[in-house]
Every structure is written in C-alpha cells, then in structure tokens.
Amino acid sequence: MKILLTGFEPFGGEPVNPALESVKLAKAPEGVELVKLEVPCLFEKCIQVVMDAVRREKPDAVLCVGQAGGRDKVTPERVAINVMDARIADNGGYKPSDVCIREDGPAAYFATLPVKAMTAAINEAGVPTALSNTAGTFCCNDVMYGVLHEITKEGLPVKAGFMHVPCIPEQLPRFKEGTPALPLEDIARAVEAALKAIAEN
C-alpha cells in the first residue's frame, strides 16, 4: 500500500509547524510505502500541490496533517465544508471571508479514510485523541475539501482525509497562557498509529 502523507509549512509568523515536523519524524508501518510532502499554507495552492503529488505518485490513500493551536488532542477530521473564512491571512497575505472553495462543489465532503479506526489506534498508542467534526475554515479545511473534490471529480481510486495536531511545548511562549501542547514525539506516534489504521482498514 502507498500512502501520501502531507504536512503544512509554518504559518501565522510561527517558526515551526508541528504538523510538518511530525510528518518528517513518522515512520512507515510495515507493508506501507510512505511518500512525504510539505504543503504551502496558501489557499488553493495547497490543493494544487497535493493533487499534483496524487497524480504523480498514484497513492492508495492521502493523509494531510495540520496544526490546530488550542486543541489538546490529535483529531482526525470527519468532514470538510465548502467555505474559506480566515481569521488570519495565509502565507501569501490572502484572507478570504465567506468564499466558496469550489463553486461547482457540494456543501461538504466526508473523509474517506477510516477516521474512527484512526482515532482508536491513536488512543491505543497512548496519545490523547478525539474524532472531530470541524476542520475549521482555514487552509486545513481548504486542502481537505479540495483534495476530496478533485479525487471525486476525477474518479480516482484514492482515500483521503485530514488530521489536526496540537501545538508543541516549544511554541507556547508565543501563544496565550493556558494553550495546551503535546510533545512532538507523541504527535509523531499518533501519525504513525493513524497510518497503521489506514493500512489495516
């Protein structure tokens, strides 16, 4: 089995993104060929970069990973919605408000990855986790929705989905007091557990 694993670059003035760092650390489960990809934190461009890799690598599954500062658990995402509505600008300075991702697309797409099995596997690995029903309205939701839309439109035999991860302790001095964090090693372990669940389900 071949899995494309992607992580967003740092954004919002941060020097590091635990999503990308955990992707770099994660090891492939037995029997899985793992292709890793860094994704720009840019609306639309993030979809293009991932889809270019999907067409080039022809994976069986795509797991995109991003940071959700403020969450205290690793959260596989169940659904992506057809809207861009940014609290902060992306890395190119674009800050959309109530903009459709795809005018020809449905209101939402459900992940086609086994999100409940992923959540259970992460829990078994000893990392705090929960299934999430909101991928937000920033670039994380954008790439999840866009990739699922393009895969559906092109009829590709590829499962896809998204997973959010918390901050790491090294980021906390730049976040508001009380922001939760997980060690990078725990986040990488969660990514590996999710990959294993994808391969087994």
Which of 64, 139, 164, 192 is an active site residue? 164
Which of 21, 41, 64, 77 is an active site residue? 77
46 is catalytic: no
**Residue 31: other Cβ atoms inside 10 A:** 9
Which of 140, 149, 150, 167 is an active site residue? 140
139 is catalytic: no
DSSP code of residue 130: -
Q: Is 108 exposed, middle or buried (0-12, 13-18, 19+ CB in 10 A)?
A: middle
**Residue 92: other Cβ atoms inside 10 A:** 12
The angle formed by the CA atoms of residues 50, 174 and 167, to the nearest 5 degrees, is 45
In the chain, alpha helices (H):
18-25, 45-57, 115-124, 139-154, 184-200
Cα–Cα distance for residue pair 86/95, rounded to 1 Å: 5
Cα–Cα distance for residue pair 141/86, rounded to 1 Å: 11
Q: Is 139 left (phi over 0), alpha (psi -120 to 50) or beta?
A: alpha
With beta carbons less than 8 A apart as the criterion, state whether 164 and 135 touch.
Answer: yes
149 is catalytic: no
Which residues does the annotation mark as catalytic? 77, 140, 164
